[in-house]
Amino acid sequence: MSYVGPDSDGYFDGDGDGPRRPRRFSGGPLTVALAALVPTALAGWLIWQVVGGPGENEPAKTLPAASQSSTAGADTTSPSPSKSDDGKKGDGSPSATPSKPKSKSKPPASSSKPAGSGPLKGKVVVIDPGHNPGNFRHATEINRLVDIGTNRKECDTTGTSTNAGYTEAQFTLDVSRRLRTLLQQQGATVELTQNGDRSWGPCVDERARIGNKAHADAVISVHADGSAAGNRGFHVILPASVNSGSANTTAIAGPSRDLGERVAGNFLRATGSAPSNYIGDGTGLDVRKDLGGLNLSTVPKVFIECGNMRDAKDAALLTSGAWRQKAAQGMSDGIVSFLRG
């Protein structure tokens, strides 16, 4: 965020031929001779094939209930696909007969795989990856003014970038995905406001509504700043107490401050980055009433500016995958601390 101006089904089908059956014998001298040359048990088996075995067009016999129960614990369904950052996914289903691959549609941005067990089981967290990599192609759409309670403001912006061209939108989406994984491991249900699956946006008012609709226990909007070189460090933005038009943060200002303080402390601990030297008077905290994503929220929410993309030293951190993992860990630790009280 810049302060200029006010995130083939595989299947196993064997050879497709089904089980082979022994050739049916028609009786007579050949059968008698063969029965005389093999053990009694084998002769009995051959007689069963002649008299009682399934014919070519008869259905195969089903297993008795006891035999079927022995396979009840086998996994005959496709495992839940794991989705990687590039959206590739695959699964397999061991089947005795061929089946057509199932088509899979991409889940919406707000979807989340079921939460597991952990200290955050039953908690809902919404992560808001700031901006969108495609925003610059949609100037008309993102420049549209939307109501943020205190005034009207642009739907969204393109965000900033490093001098080498690594964009804020790329950064926020990567960190948000890492953060999602960490929170899911703690048992939380996690939703993203966008997951690189839409061409632009969403607008700031819609981003707020996504968290509200999810009845989120906590929301964090991930950003990086675009300030002057020499300005370094992170800061967490808290909602001011606002009650104007469609904005009313009076109920969430206190809990949001608690969330922000915990995120700031744990972010510092995990990354080793210092609080901002140009915003927040060294506290790493900043209170604002001009951000629609905060003004319109009805659930605890904060923004985090992870560093200054226009400063070479901060940019070296922001472009490091190892550092971005630490950043995600710091945010996760802060959110876990807040939700566990």
**Residues identified as active-site:** 305
233: nearest Cα among 158, 334, 315 = 315
In angstroms, rounded to a whole number, what is the distance separating the alpha carbons of residues 332 and 36? 78
User: Residue 20, class by beta-carbon neighbours within 10 Å (0-12 exposed, 13-18 middle, 19+ buried)?
Assistant: exposed
Q: How many Å separate Cα 104 from the centre of its chain?
A: 16
274: nearest Cα among 306, 303, 300, 296 = 306
CA atoms within 13 A on the CB side of 293: 29
Q: How many Å separate Cα 258 from the centre of its chain?
A: 25
Q: CB under 8 Å to 104, separation ≥6 — which residues? A: 9, 81, 89
- Strand 152-154 and strand 301-308: the pairing is unpaired
